[in-house]
Structure 1
Amino acid sequence: MDTFDIARLASYRENNRIEAKAAKGGLPRSMWETYSAFANTYGGVILLGVKERDDGMFETVGLTRPEAEHLRQDFWNTVSNRSKVSAVLPIESEVELLEGEGGVVVAIHVPRAPREERPVHINNDLYNGTYRRRGEGDYHCTRSEIVSMVRDQSSETMDSKVLDEFSVADLNAESIRGYRMRFQTAHAQSSWNPLGTESFLRAIGAAAVSREDGRLHPTLAGMLMFGNDYDILRECPNYFLDYRESLDPSIRWTDRVHSGDGLWSGNVFDFFFQVSRKLTSVLKVPFKLDGIFRVDDTPMHKAVREALANCLFNADYYGVRGVVVRCELSRLVFENPGNVRTGVEQMRLGGMSDPRNAGIMRMFGLIDVGERAGTGIPDVFATWAAAGLPEPRIEEAFGEAERTMLTLELASVTNNEQINVADEQINEQINASGEQINVADEQINEQINASGEQINDRQTTVLDVIRSNPNITYDELSRAVGVSSSTVRRDVDALVADGLLKRIGSRKTGHWEVQGGAR
């Protein structure tokens, strides 16, 4: 709460941002617990000279001006004593004397502490003197909460750690190969493309030379991105990635992908591309053409990918319960361990990027995934607003399992109406029966593939990967796109039938050639 209006005193109630203390006999000891709690949560106002009546309303207790002045001076003397309080947060103007009916009130505005100063604790006791605010009360932080706040203090993000006990050879070669193909597509002229594997990994921050032995080892970012889950668990014992799809009420999960099942690498890179395809396939796609090609990638699809990337960038992989992404009929939910380092409001407003895993964010950014300037989540909010959908919700849960949850509500589909995505370039809409309204445009010539379906987003990716590596094999292509070899073969056959792709030479020694009109 930014301001306090003494004239409206009776309208206030104790909550997670305001606390009333009578303070007739001097500064109450419990005030410092509240100071710590506000500083470690969302900030708040401590009112001295105010009591809470039985009906919950506030009233002044009749402090005189000299008594209030004495309380203010005592506050400054005590808060400046590091053996009592670990951080001085308010500035002089944030400790006010307010004249009210029946007495003077001291209003102490306690801001949320910067992460570098959290946990704010009292009595020089980190583990017994750290509090957080829940509802109207203050509670002792658990050891895991305190350790989590300490981890976040560092100016270096946790994923910059060099893992001396691992070698680059421990990373998943297929995941690295898939990443390099995407990197080459995004940066065809980069001087990093010809580098060997170790040099490339060092260039993108996935590996670094250890100060201990002078050898190249994976960073935590590199292990999370390209490692196998059984190796990641050695460093992060609670690591877990889980996608749960529930689109049929009669079935617990209509689809599920999670690390640890032995069917795939279980790393963050492969999880992102598997899950982003599943999430975006659930969204309704307005019919839209760019020239003669169908465009399946709407602002809403991009926003969902941004929400997923943000979840992975900001997860505390040492935290408990892991990353959980839930896809339901009426909503998408992204949960990650750890709270919001910049605070929920700042995350909503954007403009300040402070990821928990800067190395992972950088590596994704190099293949054009995720925003780097703190605009990703505001873009999600803007896209949802433009689509006429309920405003996204960002929530934090504190306690043993600190978590951040981003919920994206989807408009309920009534009368088979599809979600209308605000996009000025959309030249066809969907009517209430689900049939496409034909926009008269004699110059548009729709190109249909062999199966009768228009070229989709995955087939566009297939063309992009082949364009960057004409000699690619089916197995390499399936890994780069993130689908089975049989699916890739069907896509290639369809693209060849459409005249968008051509095989030059024999099956063994030849190469692919993307035809001129293909995008």
Structure 2
Amino acid sequence: MTETKLRALVQQGEGTQVEFKAASIGLNRDAFDSICGFLNRSGGYLILGINDADKSITGVQENQVQNIVDNIVTGANNPERLNPPYYLSPEVITVDGKQVITLYVPESSQVHATRGKIFDRNQDGDFNITKNNDLVSQLYLRKQNSYSENQVFPYVQLSDFKASLFDKVRSLARNIQPNHPWLAMNNEELLRSAGLFKRDMKTGGEGYTLAAVLLLGSDECIQSVLAHHKTDAIVRVENTDRYDDRDDIRTNLIESYERLMAFVAKHLPEKFTLINGQRINLRDNLFREIVGNLLVHREFTNPFPAKLVIESNQVRTENWNKPHGTGAIDPVNFSPFPKNPIIAKFFKEIGWVDELGSGVRNTFKYLELYHPGAVPLFKEGDVFEIVIPIEGETLEETKKKGSEKSSEKGSEKGSEKGSEKSSEKIIRLLKDENDLSAKDLAKHIGITERAVEKQIANLKLKGKLNRIGPDKGGYWEVIEK
């Protein structure tokens, strides 16, 4: 969370989705009441170091910050403190020289209790509804009816999951947090910690959920549980009646994500920029949001196949949806609604999605940099659509790149069969005329300019060539060994 957003929340004051605690010398005893209430209702922010009476920033004592953060993380993963456990990630922000701890708690698709008590939330705070059977039943039914990811399959066993995926997700989680709790858990404990094992409150049956099967199940298990599950990746640029390329993906969501990102990388060009001094791959960051949305926020029980379609002037996705409105989404004035909170939380733990609602904002941000002037469309309805405008020349660049690579290979192969390789020709030409450009060299040798640049890069790495001065006005130094 940024300091600007924190100040805006403080100014807004407490409500259904915002709670302040002073927590100057330790975590408030009722902090987990609020966490439980947020999980059971519609999510929200718990902010520690704020006086709830006058909204002043009082801060948390510096020597207590780490203790409080540790208390939240370990407590959220302790079924005696929060049941079922839910992994949470507090943030520490310095404001006016004072340290404030912020914690975003998403809405959960399960019912949670703390110290054996179930809390719900409204404008006035957290309410213990444990002994109100009607309210508890309504809460369970609302969760069960709203989130098909919670459907329980009592006969799915640990052996029905793809064993290699557990190591993969642990590795991804370690990249995000070196001491992630999953690293110390066995496979069964990891599934339970991630909320992928639960009890059906209608039947009393216990088992792994649909979310568990979709995230980590073997292909055979997924097809048995959800035979229609698939994601279609299509390129339709030249052959608009059918397709130029296609990947029919019928596997778990982890490998589906990797295949979709590879498909995008195959057909759309990379572009880079510097953000805060760091080199950023705009294509990958943009489509990370698009692919994550396609896989996470969809209604899996409907047989409508999810699609990612690359066309000559746009990329669009479609997936079946439980709409909470209709028409185009305004990025400034919209309320994100979690479609599959357990799956979304799992993707967040491995670094493939961010906080709920950030995907729309990030898409606008990265698209403007990737293709200036383009505006994405998010359209809510029974079918949720995202349209990313891409100029035809962008796709032409990719096709051109492909033909250049083929030409490059052919030219280099032909050169090497002759009496002199391309690299040797470059050295010979630069000895005679050391200010030749890549374009000049390409004309002399008869290969593409791109192939020349590749050869020059290799010669520089081998210490045979060195550039003196700038690109314009400089010259090449041939290093004899």
TM range (shorter): 0.3 to 0.5
Q: TM-score, normalised by structure 1?
A: 0.44
Q: TM-score, normalised by structure 2?
A: 0.47
Name the structure with the higher helix share.
Answer: 2
> Does 1 or 2 have the higher relative contact order (CA < 8 Å, sep 6+)?
1
